[in-house]
Chain A
Amino acid sequence: MIAYLRSLGMLVRRSLRTHALSTSVTVFSTALATGLVMAVFAVSQQSRSAFAGGPLGFDAVLGARGSQLQLVLNTVFHLETSPGNVPWSLYEEVREDPRVALAIPYALGDNYQGHRIVGTTSELFTDFEYEKGKKLAFQPGGRPFDPARREAVLGARVARETGFGIGSHFQPAHGVERNLVEEHHHEEEYVVCGVLENSNTPNDRVIWIPVEGVYRMSGHELRGSGESYVPEDGVPIEEHHKELSAVLLDLEGRGSGFQLADRYNRQGKEATFAWPIGASMAELLDKLGWVNRILELVAYLVMVVALGSILASLYNTMNERRREFAILRSLGARRRTLFAVILLEAQTIALLGSLVGFGVFALVLLGAGRVVREETGVVLDPWVWNDAFLWTPVAMLLAGGVAGILPALKAYSTDVAQTLSRDR
């Protein structure tokens, strides 16, 4: 039996080698299909996990009345604009709340070359964990900013892209987005006192300065009290003038989330409590589910094209191989043996394509991961297990068998006597 299988293997191997070019093209198209299908499912799973269920660092965001999603996108992913501001007193209130483990202010308003400048407190570097047990770490020589100075801490990507290091100076520009037509720079100059290590989180894309610095930036008006107030140099800002874009929160247990959501979202009218953060993002991803379905559809179509190419490449060789089949039959090969040989060829192509497909998948995911990382700071990990890694090759193998049926039937129906007599 082993010798028989070895002989079948030899027939398959020899045929694939004889038609090396068409075999290679077919294997490549199968690889492309397998890789794309796996990539679509993996990117979908990874995005959901990274944006909706991953280690986002904070449990909740408290911000201006409006969309929870906008609040989360703005403060956690540093995308979108702020829905509005909340008074400093809200931060004080929530910071004292026993249900809150950590409250970090978030004040947004400026940028430098498109990188967001966010005002906060140094607790972000000392107390905040973006993953369990992982705090934002400084590159050698760096330190948190002094709240009383015009100092800035750069995310790793900002430092890479601007070329700034410790001691570099810069002037913030007005607005969250870079204005390429008419960029207005503030008078104040900031000095870089620290650069953060890469955290593979959206925080890598941010410039952190003391929250007081945001208030005192030339041209900024404060409306925390409801009236316009322009801070003056050397004059302390009274707390009722201060305002924030949001407060980032770590909560004490899940029950706290329910209670605070009830307190701010149902009873209160001044703020929005975005909790849990993953739920807001999941809602967004669900809304964008149709994009994913279109991508899946395209991937399936590529799969169908690949199967068509297996069928065509094998079918096209059938005429030239008729003599081979007739000789094998004259040696005692059964019809079903020839049928099996062709099915095996189709499945070998599908198997090789699936194996190469893992390479295609890795390339696609590295490319997609790079784009996602550039745009959001979120890192996709191509090596996280996805069920598609198993079912895609298995489905490809089965479908390869189906694609082989028509050529196999042609081999099956070879007329031995007629073919050999033609070839005397």
Chain B
Amino acid sequence: MALLEIRDLRKDFVDPDGRHTPIIDVPVFHLEEREQLALAGRSGSGKTTFLNLIAGILTPDEGSIRFDGEELTALSDSRRDRFRAREIGYVFQSFHLLDGYSALENVLLGMTFGRGADARRARALLESLGMGDRLHHHPHQLSIGQRQRVALARALAGEPRLVLADEPTGSLDPHHAGEALELMRSACRQRGAALLLVSHDDAVLDSLDRRLELAEVNRAGAES
């Protein structure tokens, strides 16, 4: 059984005049356990919306999203939050670290709502990503590459089974992007987490096990 199975997923954008414009229209999509899959999509192709639907941040208008056999669209708001906290790690393009909190605290917050905050594990995770000497630094005191590592540590902190990465190297130069990507891949591999990454950068896309064009998956994106 696949880790993630999506069928007939649809999400429309409704403008103020009430007109519906489809953003996501995915007849079928699946991701295997521990698989590392790259989705290629240009800007505005619905990449982020697709990831947000999988993460349960958005709810679809139609269709089914099954995670390890459990139907996510049937879950209540609160259970969907719980699912996200326990099963999903999310790395954003602009990292979305919390400014008022140290690197360690950011990672602790990534654990808090799932399996529970564990300072020792959070510290070990940051050390394994080469951030041992920056535990108490705040985001504005870190380089972009270091922020990226903290964001990755936070995404992995809750021991998720699926890591979603939205243009994770978009803010990095090619050298650091390659390093960050390798770090992310190996960290997911070590922890047995699947990785679903969306990007428009061929170098990033080609470095994963499998590559798919979002336009092939999302009929709405193909039309737009």
- Contact B113–A333 (Cβ < 8 Å): yes
- Contact B48–A331 (Cβ < 8 Å): no
Task: Identify the closest chain A residue to B117 (Cβ).
Answer: A3
- Contact B86–A332 (Cβ < 8 Å): yes
- Contact B113–A335 (Cβ < 8 Å): no
Chain A residue numbers with a CB within 8 Å of B96 are 323, 327, 330, 420, 423
Which of A14, A18, A330 is the most central at the interface, judged by chain B CB atoms within 10 Å of its CB?
A: A330
Task: Identify the closest chain B residue to A1 (Cβ).
Answer: B116
B112-148 CB contact bits vs A (8 Å, 1 = yes)?
1110111000000000000000000000000000000
Chain A residue numbers with a CB within 8 Å of B168 are none
- Contact A10–B105 (Cβ < 8 Å): yes
Is the CB of A160 closer than 8 A to any CB of chain B? no
Is the CB of B67 closer than 8 A to any CB of chain A? no
- Contact B94–A335 (Cβ < 8 Å): no
- Contact A420–B92 (Cβ < 8 Å): yes
- Interface residue count for A (Cβ, 8 Å)? 28
Number of A-B residue pairs with CB-CB distance less than 8 Å in the complex they form? 85
Is the CB of A366 closer than 8 A to any CB of chain B? no
- Contact A327–B98 (Cβ < 8 Å): yes
Is the CB of A25 closer than 8 A to any CB of chain B? no
Chain A residue numbers with a CB within 8 Å of B82 are 332, 334
Task: Identify the closest chain A residue to B110 (Cβ).
Answer: A331
User: With A18-B100, A420-B96, A424-B93 in contact, do A332 and B52 touch (Cβ < 8 Å)?
Assistant: no
Q: Which of A309-347 contact B (CB under 8 A)?
A: 323-324, 327-337
Given A331-B110, A417-B57, A423-B96, list of 8 further CB < 8 A pairs?
Answer: A7-B112, A331-B113, A332-B114, A333-B85, A335-B81, A417-B58, A420-B96, A421-B48
8 interchain pairs, CB-CB under 8 A? A10-B101, A15-B100, A330-B90, A332-B84, A337-B113, A417-B49, A423-B94, A423-B96
Q: Which residues of chain B have a CB within 8 Å of any CB of chain A?
A: 48-49, 52, 55, 57-58, 77-78, 81-82, 84-86, 88, 90, 92-94, 96-98, 100-101, 105, 108-110, 112-114, 116-118, 154, 158
